[in-house]
Structure 1
């Protein structure tokens, strides 16, 4: 029995997570959940008695283990730790933290560093999908200082490239779970709703703002404060979850993480929710607002940025139809506006009538760094292992 844990605290993109070794924690998910809730100080909105960051972007766990697939270098189990609810959700992937997983793997000596750039093939255990992470290396050590600025994170860092082209169908196993690029689904309390469901690096629902009686420029705080809006969002999410075979998962949770809903609109001017910086319509292809796990997100998830880039290349989807009205070379980098600013995605997809699309490249650049390391002390003792 033990009541302490070695940990590393890392930022990856716009997320922050507590990194633990798989050998140090229970392998059983129910027992692991109890340890993580204890470690993070949940349930408690402030997570005052644990390592949680009191926000869903900063209440995340990464369990790092040996690879179980021959085509990977590292295993990564992600846990979205509830704040006000005693839940840990393993039914999704966090793409932002994957940047930190690549950095962590090299810093911890789990894979050898190669000068210039080191490829870390990350197996996301949650979805059984693989993400290729390119980490810059100099003098045998991974770089974290650099010139790349990402919206939602102060300062700059070294660019880490995440290629999600091998991570599609993450939740349902199907790129278009309903079989269609666009559907009209009858939703309780709303009636017929036009939407697209795309299962890329995470399962995403796309709707236009008018469906929810939104402008599409609302801040996360404004969304969270509007109980009626949140009810309409969850009604759509529930209808899609049921249609995609996730009824048991949805009904068993108080704040399901998936499917995630994205409100997607045409470019517009607004100010970031972090520093109040202007975001110009002229610099954007689309504007997005993301909702899942009982709250709106202050920044667009890396997995959803990649999935949206893919959706923009699939004929007939809501994002693709909006994008078709904007400028553009089909292979150029896309720019998506989210509450904290802009995120860019390189999505190269070949689509042919009657054939499944070929995804050549689906890349998002993030930064990451180690913030702290040490030993965490738990309120309850636990037994590690299976």
Structure 2
């Protein structure tokens, strides 16, 4: 059987893993490229294991990134993200992955797409999915990204070198403004659920925020608890899909569920309270600003996605949102650093948000993550079933 042999790097960025490609090594035609990405990661797999591909059978590990030189004067590289469904032949490109964004700069430097500057290299990234600029400050030694360091990110067992990410003007996109409905709080009437208060925020990625208490939850739930409740997951999806329509991201809830599984995200939040991380480590209420959990591709995220953290930090700095009301500075906003307690521990994210009387603007969001290369080589993709798409 003939196979395609394609240069690729398997990388961890933050609490996600993905298969990284240079743009020149994949077909430019979307259908051809998607066929390769699906097969490389092992999707669709009706058994839900991605056993015949590199995907890890979770929303955090079934991802691909494509990076190439940018023609923009304000960017060094263009970065495209693909979230690959595990059990269906669907690739969602409606969003960015904030965690894997941390690996884009190191990948660009290591593959020669960006010239290394000894000490610290600033990589200007154009995030093509959502049309936003991101600055990554990557430590460099002897012309290569530094991977070992002292920054411990909860959800990752080993520390690494700190990469600072600045998400510039992250509010809004071509699809929807920062506040898609123009309001900081809405009331949805969700079939099978009832009326529910929500805050709909489009920053980093579109995200739906709900009070944990309104769902009968504490905000301290772990993935195993949520994912084992099929009825609860179905309820979350009804809320997410209805909110997507309200945000202008889909014509009907059933269309959203079928064609747009990755965004918007659905998060539930609660005031700070003593918690325990999935590792068993206790977390004190005084060390956090609020509790938060978020769903990704129909399952509870094991930590907190980077772009979800961008949206949460912006909402936390905006008086009048459900997120802001959970924080110690409820009713105030501006420039805030929010300490998020998630299933794996804590994450601190800074956001600067202002209102000029005509609306709200998120100026930037800053967070620190780690990244490293896990494997460098060739991904082997069987040609069977691909040949007609690649020829066409």
Q: TM > 0.5 between the two? A: yes
Q: Which runs of 5+ in 2 are unaligned?
A: none
Q: Which one is further off, 2-11 or 95-104?
A: 2-11
Q: Which one of 329, 347, 350 corresponds to residue 351 of structure 2?
A: 347
Q: 2:192 matched to 1:174? A: no
* Equivalent residue number for residue 368 of structure 1: 371
Task: Return the offset for 1:115.
Answer: 2.6
**Offset, 1:329:** 9.3
- Per-residue CA shift, 1:28-59, capped at 9, x if unaligned? 22222211111111122211111111211011
Query: How many angstroms does 1:137 deviate by?
Result: 2.0
Q: CA deviation at 1:2?
A: 6.2
The offset of 1:172, in angstroms, is: 2.6
Q: Map 1:39-50 to 2 at 5 A.
A: 39-44=40-45, 45-50=48-53
Q: Please state how far the C-alpha of 1:350 moved relative to its aligned partner.
A: 2.8
Correspondence for 1:300? 304
SS state at 2:168 partner = coil
- Per the alignment, residue 269 of structure 1 pairs with 274
Report the CA distance shift for 1:325/1:154 in structure 2 as closer, same or farther (over 3 A).
Answer: same
Q: Give the alignment partner of residue 99 of structure 1, picking from 96, 99, 102.
A: 102
Q: Work out the CA distance in 2 between the residues paired with 1:8 and 1:218.
A: 34
- CA shift at 1:139, angstroms? 3.6
Q: Does 1:108 align with 2:116?
A: no
**SS of the residue 1:58 aligns to:** coil
Aligned to 1:135: 138
Q: Structure 1 residue 27 and structure 2 residue 28: aligned?
A: yes
Aligned equivalent of 1:314: 318
1:358 is displaced (CA, Å) by 4.5
Question: Which residue is equivalent to 1:218?
Answer: 221
Tell me the residue number matched to 2:249.
Answer: 246
Indicate the SS of the match to 1:164.
Answer: strand
In structure 1, the gaps of 5 or more residues are none
Cα offsets for 1:161-183 (capped at 9, x unmatched): 11113332146330000100011
Residues 242, 358 of structure 1: alpha-carbon distance in 2 compared, 3 angstrom cutoff: closer
Query: 2:363 & 2:131 partners in 1: Cα distance?
Result: 20
Structure 1 Cα separation of the partners of residues 121 and 338 of structure 2: 25
87-96 or 331-340, larger mean C-alpha shift = 331-340
Distance 1:41 1:243 in 2: 34
SS at structure 2 position matched to 1:345: strand
Correspondence list, 1:16-165, <5 A: 16-44=17-45, 45-165=48-168
User: Helix, strand or coil for the counterpart of 1:111?
Assistant: coil
Q: Cα–Cα, structure 1 residues 196 and 210, in superposed 2: closer, same or farther, change >3 Å?
A: same
Cα offsets for 1:176-227 (capped at 9, x unmatched): 0010001112111222211100100100111001222212211112111112
SS in 2 for 1:282: helix
Q: Number of aligned residue pairs: give it.
A: 384
The separation in 2 between residues aligned to 1:222 and 1:170, in whole angstroms, is 34
Question: Could you tell me how far 1:132 is from its partner in structure 2?
Answer: 1.0
TM-score by length of 2: 0.92
> How far apart, CA to CA, are the structure 1 residues paired with 2:104 and 2:274?
34
| CA distance in 2: counterparts of 1:247 and 1:238, whole angstroms | 8
Partner of 1:258: 263
Q: Deviations over 1:40-83 (max 9, x none)?
A: 11122211111111211011100112214221110111111111
Mean Cα deviation higher: 137-146 or 367-376: 137-146
TM-score, length of structure 1 as denominator length? 0.93
* Separation in structure 1 between the aligned mates of residue 330 and residue 201 of structure 2, nearest angstrom: 21
Q: 1:379 to 1:30 in 2, by over 3 A?
A: same
Q: In the alignment, is the contact (CA less than 8 A) between 2:289 and 2:338 conserved in 1?
A: yes
Distance change (3 Å), C-alpha of 1:67 and 1:160: same
Kindly provide the CA deviation profile for residues 309-341 of structure 1, in whole angstroms up to 9, marking residues without a partner as x: 111111200111111467999645321011111
Indicate how the Cα distance of structure 1 residues 369 and 81 shifts in structure 2: closer, same or farther if over 3 A, else same.
Answer: same
- 1:106 shift after superposition: 0.8
1:191 aligned onto 2:197:
no
Q: CA RMSD in A?
A: 2.2
SS in 2 for 1:333: strand
